[in-house]
Structure 1
């Protein structure tokens, strides 16, 4: 069985700042990390591999050449092989164009049984790429996966909801997107770090894929980011003290002063 895990190198959003004049992200000096939800997706694939040594875990990422460092971290965690999809033609791709590129790469890898992806990336929070990949590959999808079981060609999934979960049964091949409650990602294994840097990472350019230059990149992307901004800070909170009756009275007076009631 082959499991393909879609991963992304993202800026650490705890370190990101926004230029107040241009409204764009300031990426200079911001460290890049493996997208957290993608780490959960990779961990689940590795857990399956732990139980079945015949499982092959392949990680796939679309990004600039420096994303190779993140892919080697995935190899050090236990992945078997890594693919980097990198070409200047992909620059500016939105989720639609990005999913088109990744789906093309997965078709080239072939013979996959499960595709894992994170619920969403912390630099965009769209949660669109995983589902769009499944649509382009014509395979079923289940998002927000918090637990699942594999029985032959059947996959029974618990899909996380706000007030419980939904139980869904699908056939392989299938695409699943992981939430952080699914597991706790493992660390890189010390004995695998050296091995990870000895492995070859396969790089796909646009010439290796069954897509055209006109179908990817900024010009082929139907969505545009209008503006990025930091929400204004909230006002200082007020602590009310006294007996329950006094607190209620102060609260009502305060709400009336603000014309809330």
Structure 2
């Protein structure tokens, strides 16, 4: 079995985001970038399936600028076998990402695609579902546990009432949630080896996909600062403020 894992280069989750002075976007100058945390979980799950003897090859793919090679090499250092970079300097929206991934799937013919449920930069939570629709494959989203068998995969997911298990036939798509596993750290020897591994670098045009910007960002602003709390002198005053000021009751 071959497993495809899309990974995205995002601002590291430990970095405090700064908005540009003109409000045109987020300031990325001299900011640490890393692999999207949900995608790290997806890579870890694919590697666990490979180590269990249920997969033969794990391929990581990223769509982005030249520097996205660093993200792919992180995946290779963790244990992935091959890396594919679809190089573009444009902002790629979820639908175009899904179209490019479909083209990669058509070329590589994996039996399983595992990707993070969302990226922490745009929080769109759309790519996995769109890819499933384009391919016509079954999908298990927000995976809490994954059990792979010879003819299918059982995906347990967290829902409001507890846990739900969906049984999918292969090929299938899985999007990962935070509690699925704990991603491993890449060892220094593996990091050095990953730097020497060749990457398959392509462009969107190689797959016949034209990048289209359907959304226009009008302005980027920081969220308002949280107001300080106050003390009230009685229950009646509390009820009055909740009702007339906060509108909570």
TM-score, normalised relative to structure 2: 0.90
Unpaired stretches in structure 2, ≥5 consecutive residues = none
Q: Is 1:248 paired with 2:249?
A: no
User: Which residue matches 2:221?
Assistant: 229
Aligned to 1:155: 153
Deviations 1:76-124 (A, max 9, x none): 1111111111135xx13321112112221222222x1110000100111
User: Which residues in structure 2 correspond to 1:87-106 (within 5 Å)?
Assistant: 87-88=88-89, 91-106=90-105
Q: 1:10 is paired with a residue of what secondary structure?
A: strand
Alignment counterpart, residue 144 of structure 2, candidates 127, 130, 146: 146
1:122 matched to which residue of 2? 120
Contact 1:105–1:204 (8 Å) recurs in 2: no
Question: Over aligned residue pairs, what C-alpha RMSD do you find?
Answer: 2.1
Query: Structure 1 residue 167: deviation in Å?
Result: 1.5
Which residue pairs with 1:171 in the alignment? 169
CA distance in 2, matches of 1:64, 1:124: 17
The residue aligned with 1:258 is: 245
What is residue 107 of structure 2 aligned with on the other side?
Answer: 108
Q: Tell me which moved more, 18-27 or 1-10.
A: 18-27
Q: CA deviation at 1:21?
A: 3.0
Unaligned runs of 5+ in 1: 241-245
- The residue number in structure 2 matching 1:11 is 11
Distance in 2 (alpha carbons) for counterparts of 1:114 and 1:256: 52
Aligned to 2:82: 81
Higher-Rg structure is 1
> Matches of 1:108 and 1:50 in 2, distance apart?
24
Q: Secondary structure at the match of 2:196?
A: coil
Q: Alpha carbons of 1:105 and 1:258: their partners in 2 closer, same or farther (altered >3 Å)?
A: same
**2-side partners of 1:250 and 1:238: how far apart?**
12
Q: Distance in 1 between matches of 2:54 and 2:139?
A: 25
Identify the match of residue 192 of structure 2 among 174, 191, 194: 194
- Which residue of structure 1 aligns with residue 206 of structure 2? 208
Q: Distance in 2 between matches of 1:56 and 1:170?
A: 21
8 Å Cα contact 1:153-1:171 kept in structure 2: yes
The TM-score with structure 1 as length reference comes to 0.86
Structure 2 equivalent of residue 46 of structure 1: 47
Moved runs in structure 1, 4+ residues, more than 6 A?
none
SS for the counterpart of 2:123 is coil
Could you list the per-position Cα deviations for residues 165-205 of structure 1 after superposition, in whole angstroms to 9, with x for gaps in the alignment? 22211101101000011111110023312221221111112
